[in-house]
């Protein structure tokens, strides 16, 4: 019987854990381990009727020794890291020490500087290869499904992909003037960072939110979207042969942008510590404490997400365009699992990626991004586990 250790018990983890329990043939036994054990116990309680055997534990995932001890006592076949990007390397170190497969949904981030790059984790390639284990990086939706979409487009529809635009639209409304739909600290670090895109083998840098486009999203409608740097541009730039340009766009509502600008202007989004009455405070961490917990947004969020990829290139010498996307309804996610669609669209692929490893459909020794594997079984699983995808062979292109 397969065993999975899931680290973290926030918005994304609670979806992945519930999906593992729906899939008890693959996930026979799981351990939920996080900083706050009461959250793990509450989720275990909610899942009382599940066939999957559930254990819980307290762990500080910044501490490799604690992680090694936990892994040695539970002996999982895979560790699914759904804590924060700061913990990626300590968890990878513990996986190396115990020769256990690893999977995450976000690249490692040092606490003091926002980078969104894979260099630290790619530096583990030889160590994982030598240990005979695999690490699957970035297996959420974006990164994650977007990489699987790219591998699928390459395998079935193109000889060469020259242009790729990743469009991430959240048409949901939670009714708050300002809230983030995943971890506020990571979300705000991401959107306040300078933008960039990959062109002709190198990065082109932009100011934050400098490039804006409007797009008419299926089942959502017209939205403004902004070019951001995003980590999968780096891996796709390396893994898609002949690619000339990759861009990433995300939609933001006017209220979100106005609040963010104001918070930024007064210094509340800074990650540089300040001294306040003798106490060291990181403004962004303090702001996080004030904002609604994304895990609680589910009940009040209505509307849909639409996330997908538009590819342009050639097949048999003929030019071709191809758009593949998923539409996810916030309220449907809430009805099924008590979560909003952002956690849902990240947690489901994390479960599927772990299933690919546990069932041997994805095999390898080393550190991999998802586009390096066969996309077909993952694409089938998306349809089966709640994230069906739609193809469009004559999409509107982004100028």
Contact set with ligand NDP (CB under 6 A): 8-13, 34-36, 39, 59-62, 82-85, 87, 105-106, 138, 140-144, 182-183, 186, 294-295, 342, 346
Cβ(135)–Cβ(374) below 8 Å:
no
Cβ(193)–Cβ(242) below 8 Å:
no
Q: Between 62 and 93, name the residue whose CB sits nearer to ligand NDP.
A: 62
Cβ(349)–Cβ(103) below 8 Å:
no
Q: How far is the CB of 85 from ligand NDP (least distance, A)?
A: 5
- Give the three-state DSSP class for 165: strand
Q: How far is the CB of 8 from ligand NDP (least distance, A)?
A: 3
Q: Peptide bond before 47: cis, by omega within 30 degrees of 0?
A: no
Q: How far is the CB of 232 from ligand NDP (least distance, A)?
A: 8
Q: Which two tokens stand for residue 126?
A: 């030889």
Among 377, 368, 292, which residue's Cα sits nearest to residue 134? Answer: 368
Report the DSSP pairing between strands 78-81 and 304-315.
Answer: unpaired
Q: Between 313 and 329, name the residue whose CB sits nearer to ligand NDP.
A: 329
Cβ(199)–Cβ(248) below 8 Å:
no
Q: Between 189 and 223, name the residue whose CB sits nearer to ligand NDP.
A: 189
**Which DSSP string do the residues of 296-326 spell out, in sequence order?**
G-GGG-BSEEEEEEEEEEEETTEEEEEEEEE
Question: In Å, what is the CA distance from 96 to each residue of 58, 89, 171, 282?
Answer: 21, 10, 40, 32
Q: Between 33 and 313, name the residue whose CB sits nearer to ligand NDP.
A: 33
Please give the DSSP secondary-structure letter assigned to residue 272. S
Q: Between 145 and 158, name the residue whose CB sits nearer to ligand NDP.
A: 145
| Count of C-beta atoms within a 10 Å radius of residue 272 | 10
Q: Between 167 and 342, name the residue whose CB sits nearer to ligand NDP.
A: 342
Q: How far is the CB of 191 from ligand NDP (least distance, A)?
A: 13
Please give the DSSP secondary-structure letter assigned to residue 49. T
- Give the three-state DSSP class for 379: helix
Q: Between 131 and 166, name the residue whose CB sits nearer to ligand NDP.
A: 166
Cβ(170)–Cβ(328) below 8 Å:
no
Q: How far is the CB of 132 from ligand NDP (least distance, A)?
A: 26
Query: Among all residues, whose Cβ is closest to ligand NDP?
Result: 10
Q: How far is the CB of 141 from ligand NDP (least distance, A)?
A: 4
Q: How far is the CB of 347 from ligand NDP (least distance, A)?
A: 8
| 90-11-44 Cα angle (round to 5) | 90
Q: Between 58 and 160, name the residue whose CB sits nearer to ligand NDP.
A: 58
Q: How far is the CB of 282 from ligand NDP (least distance, A)?
A: 14
Partnered with residue 81 across adjacent β-strands are 7, 104
Q: How far is the CB of 176 from ligand NDP (least distance, A)?
A: 16
Q: Between 313 and 327, name the residue whose CB sits nearer to ligand NDP.
A: 327
């Amino acid at each position: 019987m397969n065993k999975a250790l899931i680290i973290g018990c926030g918005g994304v983890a609670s979806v992945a854990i519930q999906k593992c329990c729906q899939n008890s043939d693959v996930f026979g036994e799981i351990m939920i381990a996080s900083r706050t054990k009461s959250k793990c116990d509450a989720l275990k309680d909610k899942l009382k009727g599940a066939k999957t055997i559930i254990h819980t534990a307290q762990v500080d995932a910044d501490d490799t020794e604690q992680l090694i001890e936990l892994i040695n006592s539970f002996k999982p076949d895979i560790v699914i890291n759904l804590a924060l990007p700061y913990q990626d390397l300590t968890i990878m170190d513990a996986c190396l020490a115990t020769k256990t497969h690893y999977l995450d949904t976000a690249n490692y981030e040092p606490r003091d500087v926002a980078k969104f790059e894979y260099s630290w984790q790619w530096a583990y390639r030889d160590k994982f290869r030598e240990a005979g284990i695999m690490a699957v990086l970035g297996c959420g939706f974006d990164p994650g499904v977007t990489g699987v979409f790219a591998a699928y487009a390459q395998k079935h529809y193109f000889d060469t992909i020259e242009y790729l635009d990743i469009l991430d639209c959240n048409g949901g409304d939670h009714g708050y003037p300002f809230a983030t739909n995943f971890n506020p600290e990571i979300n705000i670090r991401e959107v306040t960072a300078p933008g960039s895109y990959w062109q002709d083998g190198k990065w082109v840098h932009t100011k934050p939110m400098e490039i804006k486009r409007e797009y008419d999203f299926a089942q959502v409608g017209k939205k403004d979207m902004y070019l951001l740097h995003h980590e999968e541009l780096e891996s796709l730039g390396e893994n898609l042969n002949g690619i000339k340009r990759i861009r990433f766009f995300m939609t933001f509502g006017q209220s979100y942008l106005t609040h963010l600008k104001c918070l930024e202007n007064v210094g509340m989004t800074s990650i540089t510590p300040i001294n306040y009455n003798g106490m060291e405070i990181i403004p962004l961490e303090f702001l996080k404490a004030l904002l609604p917990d994304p895990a609680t947004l589910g009940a009040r969020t209505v509307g849909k997400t639409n996330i997908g990829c538009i590819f342009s290139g050639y097949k048999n010498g003929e030019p071709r365009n191809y758009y593949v996307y998923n539409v996810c309804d916030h309220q449907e996610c809430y009805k099924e699992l008590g979560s909003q669609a952002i956690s849902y669209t990240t947690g489901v692929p994390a479960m599927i990626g772990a299933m690919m490893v546990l069932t041997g459909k994805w095999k390898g020794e080393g550190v991999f991004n998802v586009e390096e594997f066969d996309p077909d079984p993952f694409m089938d699983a998306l349809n089966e586990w709640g994230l069906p995808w739609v193809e469009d062979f004559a999409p509107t292109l982004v100028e």
